[in-house]
């Protein structure tokens, strides 16, 4: 990806306990967790 000029990679996962293993894996790979909130509304 770096060779192609990509400067940012993002991954989304859940914040619940069931997703803790995935979060640990991403953090070990150098990803930084950010506190984000998404809002949805059915129309």
Put simply, whether the predicted model's pTM sits higher than 0.75 gets the answer no
Residue 43 lies in a domain: no
Q: 21-38 pLDDT, tens per residue?
A: 999 999 999 999 999 888
The mean pLDDT of 1-27, rounded to a whole number, is 95
3-state secondary structure the chain: CHHHCCCCCCCCCCCCHHHHHHHHHHHHCCCCCCCCCCCCCCC
**Domain enclosing residue 34, as ranges:** 1-38
For the chain, what is the largest distance between any 2 Cα atoms, rounded to a whole number of angstroms?
A: 42
- Where residue 42 falls among pLDDT bands split at 50, 70, 90? very high
Number of structural domains, the chain? Answer: 1
pLDDT of residue 26: 97
pLDDT of residue 4: 95
């Amino acid at each position: 990806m770096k060779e192609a000029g990509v400067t940012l990679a993002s991954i989304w996962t859940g914040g619940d306990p069931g997703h803790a293993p995935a979060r640990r894996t991403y953090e070990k790979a150098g990803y930084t967790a950010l506190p984000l909130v998404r809002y949805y509304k059915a129309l």
